Amino acid sequence: MARHKGRAWNGRLLAAALGVTTLAAAASVWTAQADPAGGRQPEARVAAPVAKVAADIAHASDRGARGVNITIDDGPDPVWTPQVLQLLKDSGVKATFCMVGTQAQAYPDLVKAVLADGHRLCNHTVSHDTAMDTRSEAYQSQQILDAERMIIKASGGVRSQYYRAPGGAFTPYSRQLAASRGMRPLGWNVDTKDFEHPGVDTMVATVKSEIANGPTVLFHDAGGDRSQTLAALREILPWLKQQGYSFGFPVR
């Protein structure tokens, strides 16, 4: 997987994360599973012990060989996330939202809106540090576990089902830690590079040419102007349906 580097967004998130208190994984947390069919969420309840998932990086879709996983990173964002949600709803598509902890903490209503529409949550760390794989295990733990706490609180008790390292900077330690907390490490196969604003036609062409490489497609709903992302999704989603693909979630 290509690493994302050089984004001013990273610096803003790192600054926003200063002062976050490092917490160990809570012994008692509130949880509820998101409804994949798009129903309303159940009331939060005390969780059973976390079921460990596989620690290898997932790429496959739960819809099989003709499945596609739409993944949306770096939010939620008050300008762009509502527009992405409306577009997905209009298209009848479910997605996985990889949320930055500080963003989830700032916009809990948007976290709940994502879940109310039947999408799934993914932990994308506290501050989106793309050099995670060069950091100490203590730092990696803080980034993952504090983000887990922030997202659970913002969601009203729903756990992230996946963990995506910023820029793909996974380590064996971070993968094992996430898996032990019930979060399957999540990769991608098709990088639209929408954060670079390459143009709608380029993004659409990338998906069309690379979707045969694997089902998980990477977009963003925060970190800058996402108008190109929205325009590209409006073309890509119906095209994928026309090609016989269906939309699902990454395997766990």
Residues catalogued as catalytic: 73, 220
Cα–Cα dist 103/75, whole Å? 6
Q: Exposed e or buried b for every residue in 72-92, given b needs 16+ CB within 10 A?
A: bbbbbbeebbebbbebbeebe
Contact predicate 77/222, CB 8 Å: yes
Contact predicate 80/226, CB 8 Å: yes
Sign of CA dihedral 10, 120, 185, 71: negative
Cα–Cα dist 245/2, whole Å? 25
Q: Which of 214, 217, 213 is CA-nearest to residue 235?
A: 217
Coil, strand or helix at 245: coil
Helix%, strand%, coil% for the chain, nearest 5: 40, 15, 45
Angle, CA 120 vertex, CA 237 and CA 24 arms, to 5°: 145
Contact predicate 72/98, CB 8 Å: yes
Cα–Cα dist 83/99, whole Å? 16
Coil, strand or helix at 197: coil
